[in-house]
Amino acid sequence: MSNNVKKSKEDVSLYKGVWVLAEQRDSQLLSVSQELVSEGRKLADDLAVELTAVLLGFDLKEIGKELVAYGADRIIMVENQELKHYRTGPYARVVADLIKQYKPEIVLIGATHNGRDLAPRLSARLQTGLTADCTKLEIDPQKKILLQTRPAFGGNLMATIICPEHRPQMATVRPGVMVKEEPDYKRQGNIIEVSADLSKKDIMSVNKKEAQIIKMDSQLSREDLFTKITDIVKAASKAVNLEEAEIIVAGGRGVGSADGFEVIKELATTLGGEIGASRAVVDEGWIDKEHQVGQTGKTVHPKLYLACGISGAIQHRAGMQDSDIIIAINTDSAASIFEVCDYGIVGDLHEIVPLLNKAFQKVEVA
């Protein structure tokens, strides 16, 4: 598939380098950004170009060092109190201006709530294509273009999309898909500090290493700042963080009903893990979508994944098959989940899971 928009063909040779738009919350780097920098490092090496991480916010110095440790050669850091929390207008304006000036050939963005809001707006401003929710990225060895793979048709097949004529090639990447490499805090990188005066019509960029001043025509207007954040209220319920979980107890159609998930929840609580689910039970309304694992849900890499009453359709397996240890419980001995599990138990989960729960409750953790 080709991902192009209707505009005149560009000289793609003017574009060079791989960019990752790093995302932070309260001056803490999100895990998906660490994953993207690790993946971006591989793509940049394949193309023999620099990897740049772009970071917007306030009080970002330590995050910049962290991005270098994960593999970035250069950090473009834009600090302003107005950018401390994400807002569509100013973020889209600043990032679009940076891309127009530096002309990277590839831009990667995490498929988070913010990333999914920002990416299409950048694509429209830059008049280039965008592939959303990618699960695999590669460089074509002959054409040297980005191969962007994502689930299609409800996860029933995988589509590889290219953007051969326009730049940058842009993709959002699902959290938890890419492997996060170990950081090397001895790495050195160039940090470019950009001052964004959002009350004026331009942004001044200062490269401290090269003592070079670059003026950027930003033309920030009232439309870019038409919203104001007055307060941030944390949700009362605990957020589901499947991508970071070390233990996941997941239920499928075999749980039988929404009430049937109680045994799954009890075991997850005992193990200190998170609750996962197959798409089938989410579609049934037995549990919220934020618990869904699979091609159309979340991709996870826990140390322990317990699949209870899950048949093991390929769409679900794609989201959990890289777990360190997989234990499957199913009444059907021929279920596909047994093809990928390390340990399999044939039987009724409503009998087996409570027994496991009682056994684990007796275990004393040293």
**Which residues does the annotation place in the binding site for FAD?**
253, 278-279, 292-296, 309-316, 330
What are the tokens at 278? Answer: 């197959």
Helix (H) or strand (E) holding 170: strand 169-173
Task: Give me the sign of the Cα torsion angle 221, 227, 231, 234.
Answer: negative
Q: Annotated binding site, which residues?
A: 253, 278-279, 292-296, 309-316, 330
One-character DSSP codes across 116-145: HHHHHHHHHHHT--EEEEESEEEE-TTT--
Cis peptide before 302 (omega within 30 of 0): no
Instruction: Yes or no: say if 196 and 78 are a contact pair by the CB < 8 Å rule.
Output: yes
Closest listed residue to residue 220, CA positions, set 24, 33, 78: 78
Contacts of 141-148 with CB under 8 Å at 24 or more apart are 141/46, 144/47, 145/169, 146/43, 146/106, 146/171, 148/3
Residue written as token pair 């991480």: 53
Centre a 10 Å sphere on the Cβ of residue 50 and count the other Cβ atoms it contains.
16
Yes or no: say if 82 and 200 are a contact pair by the CB < 8 Å rule.
no
β-pairing, 130-134 vs 136-139, is: unpaired
